[in-house]
Copies of this chain bind each other. A is one copy, B any other.
Amino acid sequence: MPKAKVYITLKPALLDAQGRVLQSALQQLGFESVQGVRVGKYLEVELAPNGDPHEQVEAMCQKLLANPVIEQYRYEIEP
């Protein structure tokens, strides 16, 4: 059964508030070498083995999974 791994992140130009909070929390815990944190989503989508998984996952990202205005995404398909 093909499985898609989808990585969704904010576009680099946008401020990642959640990442800033994590960065600051890590630094306060003593991880002073942390220079930056960006937070994203990671999805695993299991697909039935019919149709073109690339085409399906691209459509899912465009229609529901990501917000293409502020987010970028990439995915890998495992057979």
| A binding-site residues for B, Cβ under 8 Å | 1, 7-9, 19, 22, 25-26, 29, 31-48, 50-51, 56, 59-60, 63-65
CB neighbours of A64 from chain B (8 A):
22, 25-26, 29
Q: How far is the CA of A35 from the CA of B56 in the complex (A)?
A: 13
- Contact check, B47 vs A35: say whether CB atoms are below 8 A apart: yes
- Contact check, B31 vs A56: say whether CB atoms are below 8 A apart: yes
- Contact check, A41 vs B43: say whether CB atoms are below 8 A apart: no
CB neighbours of A46 from chain B (8 A):
34-37
Q: How far is the CA of A52 from the CA of B50 in the complex (A)?
A: 45
CB neighbours of A7 from chain B (8 A):
42
